[in-house]
Amino acid sequence: MKEELVITDLTRMYHGHVCIAGYDKYRHCYRPILPPPGIGQGSLIQGGRAIIFPSAVVEFDLLEPHPMPPHSEDIFYEPTSPRYIRRVKNWEKVLEWSLFNSVDVIFDQPIHDDLGFYVMDHQGTRSIGTVKPSYISKVIYAEGPEGAWDYRLMFSDNLGNIYRLKITDLTWHYYCDSLRSNGHEPSEIASQLTDILRSSKVYLRIGLARGWKKFPDRCYLQINGIYTFPDYLDGKIFSDFLSKGQELREIKESSEEYEVC
């Protein structure tokens, strides 16, 4: 069936792949998926322009649902079908569709907090939702082991629960990296973004990673999307932070591993 979805999530995965999610006009959430190896970043661009990005209305030919709790929103789609329609007019209203009062009520099962925050696989009714943080503690952007870059956010929700979660928002990654490429120090970038988030109305899309080799029964919490009003990106999207000479190479050859989506 052909369905128009407002894209709310564009999540960076491993080896140049992504996870996407969006809502139809009835406010039903879908995670369009493909068989392994999944959705390549190259499919986000057609004719030299991005067609799939947060706030975009995109038509998909959706096929059979493939729910695997807590990822109940999974549905296969015809890989050649995505068609860009427009950008949604009231982006904040769309985010309000999926708003929860606190992180723990999103997933309809207990959140464990030993060695990170996670819920158990094969349980729960949903894998994604939106919260407005009550306080932003700090943005973390630093080089980790073996040269990999670490993107995290520490925040409090409306119940006063404090979370320190990995950021897998594709645009956030490219935005931070573009600032660093232009000579800004990572600590300066983190401080600047902390100030921006503290002075803005912030919506966080909180999602669940898949179980992975080390902990196959755990789905770790992650931040799939960070959206601010006013917009810290000034309307730009992920592709605006890639130089034309690097665009295809970076999209096709990314080898960072993330056990996400």
User: Phi-psi category of 25—alpha, beta or left, where left has phi over 0 and alpha has psi -120 to 50?
Assistant: alpha
Query: Are 24 and 5 within 8 A, CB to CB?
Result: yes
Q: What is the pLDDT, as a whole number, of residue 244?
A: 54
Q: Is residue 87 classed as helix, strand or coil in its secondary structure? A: strand
CA dist., res. 133 & res. 162, Å (int): 10
pLDDT tens string 239-250: 999 865 454 444
- Measured between alpha carbons, how far is 88 from 100 in angstroms, rounded to an integer? 21
Using left for φ > 0, alpha for ψ between -120 and 50, and beta otherwise, residue 94 falls in alpha
**pLDDT tens, position by position, 136-160:** 999 999 998 888 899 999 999 999 9
CA atoms 171, 258, 13, 177: torsion sign: positive
3-class state of residue 153 by DSSP: strand
Q: Which residues of the chain have pLDDT under 70?
A: 243-261
* pLDDT tens digits, one per residue of 26-36: 999 999 999 99
> What's the pLDDT score for residue 249?
40
Give domain limits for the chain.
2-253
* pLDDT one-digit tens code per residue, 172-186: 999 999 999 999 999
**Tokens standing for 246?**
């690097």
